[in-house]
Structure 1
Amino acid sequence: MAPSAVAVRRVVQPYAPLLLAVLVAVAVGASATGDLGVRSPLPGVVVLVLAVVSGWAASMTRARRWPLFLAAAVGWLVLAAAAAGVVASYQAGLRLRGRRLAGYLVGAAVVLAGGVLVGLAVGGVRRITTATSGNVLFLATGLVGLPLVVGLWTRARRDTLVALRDRAERLEREQEARADRVRAEERTRIAREMHDVVAHRVSLMVVHAGALEVTANDPATVDAAALIRTTGREALTDLREVLGVLRQAGPAVVPERGLDALDELIGESRAAGLRVHRRDEGVVSALPATVGRTAYRVVREALTNVRKHAADAETTVCLRYLPDGLEVLVRNGPSEGGQSLPGAGQGLLGLRERVELLGGRLEATAVDGGFLVRALIPVAGAA
């Protein structure tokens, strides 16, 4: 259906019962005056009452059908008015089924036969119009048959559209179910591969670090091996949590740390050899948990990058409490060189998306030979 037709239908549809009532009432009145049928000798008041009742009955078809059928029968027998009968036949084809539809056809045949008897009794134009065999056949076709077929076709079309819509919805649900199943299988495969590759290598690292801790004589080596072993075990714990999420069919959330764990994070970085200092500015206030988790992620990702690319640089972590949010700055000085660890460069991209979801912004730029990560996280975006 064209957009213009849909717009017109939406405008007209609320007034459709009223328009139908007026049309049927006018047609019944015109039939009684001879403009659309046989002129009636009945008083105008009777014609007006029948016209109004027929229009009212036509407007009530969505709630009750029997007033329309009764008005159609009375209108045909008294005035030979076909308007209500046409609407009644259409509504019968549209809404009736089985025995009710057969009962309507029997009733329509009885009314037509009664019209023949009335035409024979009245005579004149009424007899010619409603009692001759050719006209009776024509009236049966136009008054009952054609509107009934149109109603049946409309109902069949509507049922077909409903069936197609249901089928489309069912196919969409099946497609979503297949997609969920494929995602679950893919997540399970990824979890299995991560376990086979990463967990195996980290486990070996922990075992070798434990062996080195036991056999080494140098205290510094023993401390370094203990740190490696402890860090490896924590990494295995984190990895198990991630793998558990990947194996779950439904959505799940990995527990995330907030600002209360920031000192522990900085302590781990110091134990790994980084020179990290923390500084808080402004009035420390309670922040939404989402802001705290995001700030923790910013600091963690920034320190991870420092360990990868500038492990010998001095680093400052600054939390600046603002009236409407929190500013996180992680800045490292220039590095004297050395071996860098490989990285995919996706950490900051994902972090920027996380900050922007809260309505903030994240900047990562080179400054004075070092690097600066700055995130501005508003409190309003996390509410």
Structure 2
Amino acid sequence: MSFSLSTVFRPLTRAVTYTRWLHQLIASVAGTLAGFVHGGTFRSTGMEVWLWIAVLPVPVLLAAALIPAVRRVEGLQAQLLLTPGPHGPEERAGTGISTTPSLSWRDRGRTAGWLLLRLAVGVPVSALTVQLPVLSFAFLQAAAGHRTHFRGLPAIDAPQGWYALLVPLPLVVLLAVAVSAGSLMAAAAGLLLGPSPAERLTVLEARTERILEHNRLAQELHDSIGHALTVTVLQAGAARAAGSPEFTDRALAAVEETGRQALTDLERALRLLREDVPHPAARPVLADAERLLESARAAGSTVRAELSGPLAALPGPVSREGYRMVQEALTNVLRHAGPVPVSVRIAADADALELEVRNPMPASPAPVAVGRGLRGLRERAVLLGGKAVAGPDEDGEWRVHARLPLARLR
């Protein structure tokens, strides 16, 4: 029994009960204003006044539904008054109620249906909100022995004490109607003001873009930090083995430069993840490839480089991704083969950019595992419409080769 009573009285303790009630009362404002404009509306008696309030604003609401911004206003109002709980950006997004202006005639039609439904539900609720408390007061007066005759209600000409039993009944009915109508409007808002297929597609595309951007940042951090750590480990080991102060100084300088660049990349990635920073630091491009070559040389590798073509004029996406691909290829050389001779070729022409990194394979090569680095290298090439391959060639060298088309990007 206690559970049943708590279920019955729970709506009285919830703020959303009263905000939904307010939402329904607001719906009759347009009809009330139209009644003032239309002379004689409030000289009617009984339910005629409420019928006028329900009918007069219909043309105005249909015309208002054609205005794109009306859908936004109605969506915001529905989110604030019909949905319980916090109303921050994330919570509002989870209500299933859209706050974007009408983008199509279908959106306008749904908005018109919503406005008419608000009027059809709000006016009866407003009428009951006015009349039922008056009826409870009439029963109270009758129980006290007074004759009552309020406008719009039947007269009580024979007051009796038993009318006191009827005093709470109109209020209970009013609460039940307000709660039920509020739940109805909350459900209808999701149908009539919910996102359209075009909006859902836009949200999905934006979410996909964020996921891809995060994946790209993860790949860049893997390439940059992995390269820096690999160079640092090799430099530290070589300096300890050499036992030469001069070599140690050069190694420390190389570690400092590599670490500084890694910190720059890390800071740029973190800035991109913060929405309040609109202009993150610039990403390195192939025009900065000499930095990678010097880093590999400082780690003990003999690097033979061949750079040709207008590298500085390459499209931004190709140049940035090409830099990361060369970085990953050199990192793999240092990590798996050590400080061995490396051949790097970067060639650009009008049609394509070609990247090639070669190095001798170790005498006892370990089993080749396709890790995140090589997989990311191939993914970068595919996203740009190109192709990348990695593996041993017929000369017994490990070869990484990528070709990225340029014609369609210019």
TM-score bracket, shorter-length normalisation: 0.3 to 0.5
**Structure with the largest fraction of helix:** 1
Rg larger in structure: 1
TM-score (normalised: structure 2) = 0.43
Q: Which has the higher contact order (CA 8 A, sep 6+)?
A: 2
